[in-house]
Amino acid sequence: MIILNVIYKCKPDMRDEFLEMIYTEGIDTASRSEKGNIKYDYYIPADGSDDLLLVEKWSNAEALAAHREQPHFARLGDLKKEYVFDVIVEKYEN
């Protein structure tokens, strides 16, 4: 299993709009429906920062690689250009 903690450092006051676009465009739903996806959930930190945490769990490296080839993954990349100034990825393999 592969676990990713993806921390989006959103531009000031743009986190909520970024998350709303993800939901509106169905990026979360499409990712959850992929073969090999175990978890794909977004979290807002309690400290009030503009960060957004995405926790992903994939059954194996092949499933994660296939995810990165999907159109909704590319669309998320487009949205990040508008709403995010930095991304931190923590990867854990089990």
**Residues of the chain with pLDDT > 70: what percent?**
100
Q: What is the pLDDT of residues 49-94, one digit of tens each?
A: 999 999 999 999 999 999 999 999 999 999 999 999 999 999 999 8
Whole-angstrom Cα distance, residue 87 to residue 90?
Answer: 10
Q: How far is CA 22 from the centre of its chain?
A: 9
Whether 6 and 76 have beta carbons less than 8 Å apart is answered as no
Does 10 score more than 90 pLDDT?
Answer: yes
Q: Quick one: tokens of 88?
A: 């931190």
> Domains of the chain: which residue ranges?
2-93
For residue 16, the model assigns a pLDDT of 97
Kindly report the pTM of this predicted structure: 0.94
Whether 53 and 90 have beta carbons less than 8 Å apart is answered as no
**Residues of the chain with pLDDT > 90: what percent?**
98
Domain 2-93 has CATH 3.40.50.150: no
Q: Kindly provide the residue ranges of all beta strands, DSSP E only, lying in the chain, ordered along the sequence.
A: 2-10, 37-43, 51-58, 84-93
For residue 94, the model assigns a pLDDT of 85
